[in-house]
Amino acid sequence: MKKIDKYQGKKVLVMGFGISGINAAHLLVKLGADVTANDKATPKDNKVIEDLEADGIKVITGDNPLSLANEGFDIVVKNPGIPYDNSLVAEFVKKGTPIITEAELGWQIFDGHLVSVTGSNGKTTTTTLTQLMIAENAKHQVKYAGNIGISFSKVAESLGPDDTLVTELSSFQLLGAPTIHPHIAIITNIFSNHLDYHKTRENYINAKLNITRNQTKDDFLVINWDRDEWQKIAQRSQATIVPFSRLNKSHDGSYVENGIIYWRGEKVMATKDIRLIGPQNVENALAAIAAAKLSGVTNEAIEKVLTTFSGVRHRLQYVLEYQDRLFYNDSKSTDIEATEVALQGFDRPVILLAGGLDRGYTFERLVPYFKKHVKAIIVFGECKDKMKEAAEQAGIPSIVESENAITAVPEAWKLSEPGDVILLSPANASWDQFPSFEVRGDKFIEAVEKLTGKKER
């Protein structure tokens, strides 16, 4: 951990009691700040408040009182999920009070080697693969943190100058991380996500580009080269560009040619030997390989990781096999693009479980994927009628409505035959019925285990 004094004697407001917010509040006390912690909700666990207060932190819950904007805070550390049009945040914006996220705080105290990953899809898998690959050859600590569910600043506290930290960073986190400077940055892809938060696609792209904003030619930006738009986005970086391409559009980084993965002309391994399924996971592997090779990792270490790693929970996660049916949990597929790539990963007939929060869009884009891959579909949630319309356009013979992702499991089993895949890939957020995609995925797995009498693998 780097010793810094910029918070000594400063008055800091921490907004949000998530894992990152709580860790940030305690860290700021160690850094000499006068800390107030605020959350609109009141935690069910009183120990959270007790621990904060025991550290000398003033705690305010149940509201974001506008009066806090007049208490002379020098800086605000905001939960990434709190939008900038939140009434209290908007007041701080008007006053010109600096607003950062916990990722920025983590960067400020970190003095090791930073690798950071962002993108619309594939962030967590790429982050995990990159950490595993670098750790295979490392003589020092290699950890991951960030949007992957582990506090950036908490892990940064425990690492030294020779250690490596691989961080997953969302657009929300990056928007409040003005000085973050990874040596290796990865952009897996950029689609049109979170426009309810960012308002425009350009704002969303600009937030993503904060990952490379402070890089120089001595740093590296690993970026997907398979769309012209992403190639143009790369031109906005000052870093040395390292492309990765599943479609063999560049040989300057990692790429696939005739089913073989290469790194700048050097054979690494065959794509068929990657344990994770689907074209999206080939892309995730290519991104991780590029970062690993830039970090001095051997081909043997890379191949060991890619032939043994079976996936991140809720991200096209293999659950179990029962009576020659394969169950997959892809609850993290909260947008259309993610479900498109998930369906492309299967040669077997798919019984798809899909639906969720109605964000106002329809699903015509899924029609060709439905035609090619889906033999039956179970629809649920607020947008089930729209999903049903797309399924009807595709001519799917079996379309069943169900209450949710849990009740859909036995319905899917009734429609299945040996050789089928039963896939939860909702193409929608979970918030109409579940507090998070993680809870939705966990409940789906529980329903599969109940149905089959087996435990997830």
Ordered by where they begin, the domains of the chain are 11-100 (3.40.50.720), 103-308 (3.40.1190.10), 317-452 (3.90.190.20)
The token duo for 384 is 């089930």
Residue type for 103, please?
A: A
CA-based max dimension of the chain: 67
Question: Which parts of the chain register pLDDT below 50?
Answer: none
The token duo for 54 is 């025991």
Half-sphere exposure of residue 176: CA atoms within 13 angstroms, side-chain side: 26
pLDDT number for residue 345: 87
**Cβ neighbours of residue 203 under 8 Å, at least 6 residues apart?**
none
Spatial distance between the Cα atoms of 81 and 431, rounded to a whole number of angstroms:
14
The token duo for 335 is 């947008």
Q: Are 168 and 123 in contact (CB under 8 A)?
A: yes
Q: Are 406 and 443 in contact (CB under 8 A)?
A: yes
pLDDT number for residue 392: 98
pLDDT tens string 197-246: 888 999 999 999 999 999 999 999 999 999 999 999 999 999 999 999 99
CA distances from residue 272 to 42, 225, 249, 419 in whole angstroms, order as listed? 50, 21, 20, 20
Spatial distance between the Cα atoms of 418 and 272, rounded to a whole number of angstroms:
23
Spatial distance between the Cα atoms of 190 and 120, rounded to a whole number of angstroms:
5
- What values do phi and psi take at 356, rounded to 5? 150, -145
Label residue 149 left, alpha or beta by phi (over 0 means left) and psi (-120 to 50 means alpha). left
| Torsion angle (degrees, nearest 10) of CA 102, 103, 104, 109 | 90
Residues annotated as binding site for ATP?
Answer: 119-125
pLDDT number for residue 45: 79
The token duo for 221 is 């930006």
Length of the chain: 457
Spatial distance between the Cα atoms of 23 and 291, rounded to a whole number of angstroms:
28
pLDDT number for residue 63: 95
For the sheet containing 325-329, what is the strand order? 317-322, 325-329, 421-424, 350-355, 374-380, 398-401
The token duo for 267 is 């054979």
| Torsion angle (degrees, nearest 10) of CA 407, 409, 415, 418 | -170
pLDDT tens string 58-102: 999 999 999 999 999 999 999 999 999 999 999 999 999 999 999
Measure the N-to-C terminal CA separation of the chain; round to a whole number of Å.
38
Angle between helices 336-344 and 279-294 (to 10 degrees): 100
β 164-168/184-187 pair status: unpaired
Average pLDDT value for the chain: 96
**Cβ neighbours of residue 50 under 8 Å, at least 6 residues apart?**
none
pLDDT number for residue 96: 97
pLDDT tens string 176-188: 999 999 999 999 9
- Whole-prediction pTM value? 0.83
Spatial distance between the Cα atoms of 68 and 260, rounded to a whole number of angstroms:
58
* Residue found by looking up tokens 């600096």 in the block: 98
Residues annotated as binding site?
Answer: 119-125
Spatial distance between the Cα atoms of 211 and 185, rounded to a whole number of angstroms:
6
* Residue found by looking up tokens 């000085």 in the block: 179
The token duo for 8 is 């000594």
